Structure 1
Amino acid sequence: MKAGAVLSVLCLVFPACYTTCQEVKVRPGQNATLECRGSSDLMISVVQWRKPDLKPDSYVFFYRKPHSYENYQHESFKGRVDLREPSMKDGDASVILRNVSISDTGTYECEIITSNTRSGERDVKEFKHSINLTVTDADGGDEAAGDKEGGGKVEVRAAVSVSAGLLISIIIVTAIVALINYRRHKSCWISSS
Structure 2
Amino acid sequence: MDSSIATSFVSFLIFSLTSAFEAKSGDDVTLQCQSPRHEAITLLEWSRPDLKKDGYVFFYRNNRSYEKYQHPSFRGRVQLRDPEMKDGNVSVILKNVTINDTGTYECRVSVIGKGLKLRNTTYLKVEDSGHTAGNTWTEEGKDGGDKDEGKKDGHTGMVVGLSVTGVVLLLLLGIFSFIYNRKHKEAMMMSHQRPPERENVPLQE
| Structure with higher strand content | 1
Deviations 1:50-84 (A, max 9, x none): 11111425011000021000111111111100000
Question: C-alpha distance in 1, partners of 2:172/2:36?
Answer: 28
Letter in 2 for 1:173: R
Q: CA deviation at 1:42?
A: 1.4
Secondary structure at the aligned position of 2:53 is classed as coil
Q: CA deviation at 1:110?
A: 0.8
2:108 corresponding residue in structure 1? 111
- Structure 1 stretch displaced more, 167-176 or 55-64: 167-176
Q: 5 Å matches for 1:60-79?
A: 60-79=57-76
Query: Which of 11, 30, 34 is matched with 2:31 structurally?
Result: 34
Q: Could you say if the C-alpha distance between residues 104 and 167 of structure 1 is closer, same or farther in structure 2, counting changes exceeding 3 Å?
A: same
Listed as ranges, the gaps of 5+ residues in structure 1 are 12-16, 116-121, 181-193
Deviations 1:90-124 (A, max 9, x none): 11111000000011111111101111xxxxxx344
Query: Which of 111, 131, 135 is matched with 2:126 structurally?
Result: 135
Q: CA deviation at 1:31?
A: 0.5
1:169 corresponding residue in structure 2? 178
Question: C-alpha distance in 1, partners of 2:93/2:185?
Answer: 51
Q: Identity over the aligned pairs, expressed in percent?
A: 37
Listed as ranges, the gaps of 5+ residues in structure 2 are 137-142, 190-205
TM-score by length of 1: 0.69
Deviations 1:11-30 (A, max 9, x none): 9xxxxx9xx64624210000
2:91 corresponding residue in structure 1? 94
- Structure 1 stretch displaced more, 136-145 or 38-47: 136-145
Q: 1:150 and 2:155 equivalent?
A: yes
Query: Which of 98, 117, 128 is matched with 1:126 structurally?
Result: 117
Letter in 2 for 1:90: D
Letter in 1 for 2:157: G
Question: C-alpha distance in 1, partners of 2:102/2:30?
Answer: 13
Secondary structure at the aligned position of 1:169 is classed as helix
Q: CA deviation at 1:177?
A: 7.6
CA radius of gyration, larger in: 2
Q: Could you say if the C-alpha distance between residues 150 and 123 of structure 1 is closer, same or farther in structure 2, counting changes exceeding 3 Å?
A: closer
Q: CA deviation at 1:128?
A: 2.7
Q: Could you say if the C-alpha distance between residues 22 and 49 of structure 1 is closer, same or farther in structure 2, counting changes exceeding 3 Å?
A: farther
Question: C-alpha distance in 1, partners of 2:158/2:91?
Answer: 15
Q: Could you say if the C-alpha distance between residues 145 and 155 of structure 1 is closer, same or farther in structure 2, counting changes exceeding 3 Å?
A: farther
Q: How many residues align?
A: 168
Question: C-alpha distance in 2, partners of 1:62/1:141?
Answer: 30
The structure 1 segments of at least 4 consecutive aligned residues displaced by more than 6 Å after TM superposition are: 176-180
TM-score by length of 2: 0.65
Question: C-alpha distance in 2, partners of 1:38/1:81?
Answer: 18
